[in-house]
Amino acid sequence: MKIDFYTSKREYDEKRVEFDKVISNIIQKGNFILGEEVKAFESDIEKYTGAKYAIGVASGTDALVITSDILGFKDGNEVITSPFTFLASASCIARHNGKLVFVDIDEETFSIDVSKIEEKINHKTVGILPIHLFNQMADMDKIMELSNRYNIRVLEDAAEAFGMGWKGNSDTYKHSGTIGHYGVFSFFPTKTLGGYGDGGMIVTNDEKLAELAKSYRVHGASKKYHYDHIGYNSRLDTLQAAVLSVKLKYIDEAIIKREEIAKLYIERLSDCEYIKIPKIRGEQQGVYYVFNILAKDRDGLADHLKKNQIGYSIYYPMPLHMQKCFNYLGYKEGDFPIAEKVSKEVIALPIYPEIKKDEVEYVCETILQYYKK
């Protein structure tokens, strides 16, 4: 049995008529840049997340770069974030000559260890960039308390967190990305809400920040050929907006299916002494964008899965503080021991709404077979 880590083919086969119709309509109209489908999708995102403003851009990475620029995460100003994440969560700061300040992660959640943030705050600190990683959000109560106390900005990297909600100490759940000053989503194809190409979204509840984001995505223009800022060329493609609008109609169903798959993995693997399953912590609504485990002899297990034609991924094999591109920061091995330990043990298993129960069973059987040795 061959099992892909991810495939969009099954979803397309199920909804082929809907996808083909919306794509064909745009091609026939010829309105490819910031067409009406983009505005409609932005409005739908506002309704779904509760954000007052949603601004479509070309990718999740661009969303981070643009918002970091606007928030002043640059020119030597310090921004606190995690070393256990995708490059874009940190490169968006480095690109603007901001100073990255890393703190370690919590081993049970992989999220930034909020108890370690305050000790890194000083007069140069302008922001915190929490990453809502894999299946849950960072502790936004503590992060916003620090933001308010020290008057620093919060940029939520919710690239992987569409559908997640944080309740914490409040009366209602707040969607990821809508708690800080800005939030960003990625619509990379593998994401919970993923397109058929690149795409991203900036959300905010601040009208001024929303207007700046709208300007920055079109070269900093206030109106055509009138530039108030040095901005970017980063617009959500109309074709992608149309595809994403179709998928958004089914997002709650897709999230439920992901949870069912995750529960099956947990049920089958929890008793294996060589495997540790991360926990969702805090009063929140998690979403299983990725199903990670910590595995003894991770690389050996990965080889075994590959030999049995089972797809997997490793998020992330090396923390950012140990990456060559960040040598200039002066960090060394041992500075963030939990992130370093997790990077040697973590492995992600196949999970997407269309995966079949017998395929998940086969993945589990193959893993347990390996550890029987």
Domain match, 162 and 173 both: yes
Mean pLDDT of each 10-residue bin along the chain, 373 residues long:
96 97 96 95 98 98 98 98 98 98 96 98 98 96 98 98 95 96 98 97 98 98 95 98 98 98 97 94 95 98 98 98 98 98 98 97 98 89
> Counting runs of H as helices and runs of E as strands, what totals does the chain give?
12, 15
> Residue 115: phi, psi to the nearest 5?
-70, -15
Diameter of the chain measured on Cα atoms:
68
Angle at the Cα of 176 (from 218 to 16), degrees rounded to 5? 70
Its domain, for residue 221, covers: 9-248
Q: Is 301 left (phi over 0), alpha (psi -120 to 50) or beta?
A: alpha
What 3-state DSSP class applies to 28? helix
Residue 110 in contact with residue 130, Cβ under 8 Å? no
Domain match, 174 and 236 both: yes
Query: CA–CA separation, 338 vs 342, rounded Å?
Result: 6
With respect to residue 1, please indicate whether it lies within any of the assigned structural domains. no
Which DSSP category does 326 fall into?
G
Within a 13 Å sphere around the CA of 67, how many CA atoms are in the beta-carbon half?
A: 38
With respect to residue 191, please indicate whether it lies within any of the assigned structural domains. yes
Query: CA–CA separation, 264 vs 255, rounded Å?
Result: 14
Query: CA–CA separation, 310 vs 291, rounded Å?
Result: 14
What does 163-179 look like in DSSP terms, one character per residue?
T-EE-TTSSS-EETTSS
Query: CA–CA separation, 146 vs 152, rounded Å?
Result: 8
Domain match, 171 and 274 both: no
Domain termination residue (choose one: 207, 232, 248): 248
Domain match, 319 and 242 both: no
Which DSSP category does 310 fall into?
B
Residue 258 structure tokens: 């992901």
Domain match, 287 and 351 both: yes
CATH of the domain at 351: 3.90.1150.10
Domain match, 244 and 265 both: no
The strand pairing partners of 110, in sequence order, are none
Of 279, 203, 168, nearest to 50 (Cα)?
203
Burial (Cβ within 10 Å: 0-12, 13-18, ≥19) of residue 156: buried
pLDDT at 106: 95
Domain match, 352 and 205 both: no
Residue 151 structure tokens: 């008057």
Domain match, 182 and 153 both: yes
Counted domains in the chain: 2
Domain match, 171 and 49 both: yes
pLDDT at 373: 78
Starting at the earlier edge strand, list the strands of the sheet with 99-102: 53-57, 200-204, 182-186, 153-157, 125-129, 78-81, 99-102
Question: First vs last Cα of the chain: how many Å apart?
Answer: 22
With respect to residue 302, please indicate whether it lies within any of the assigned structural domains. yes
With respect to residue 3, please indicate whether it lies within any of the assigned structural domains. no
| Length of the chain counted residue by residue | 373
Residue 91 in contact with residue 110, Cβ under 8 Å? no
With respect to residue 2, please indicate whether it lies within any of the assigned structural domains. no
Of 146, 138, 132, nearest to 168 (Cα)?
138
The strand pairing partners of 165, in sequence order, are 175, 285
Domain match, 274 and 244 both: no
CATH of the domain at 206: 3.40.640.10
Which DSSP category does 334 fall into?
T
Domain match, 54 and 22 both: yes
Domain termination residue (choose one: 192, 226, 248): 248
Domain match, 244 and 255 both: no
What does 215-280 look like in DSSP terms, one character per residue?
HHTBTTEEETTEESS---B---BHHHHHHHHHHHTTHHHHHHHHHHHHHHHHHHHTT-TTEE----
With respect to residue 297, please indicate whether it lies within any of the assigned structural domains. yes
| This prediction's pTM | 0.97
Q: Which amino acid is at 134?
A: F
Domain termination residue (choose one: 201, 221, 248): 248
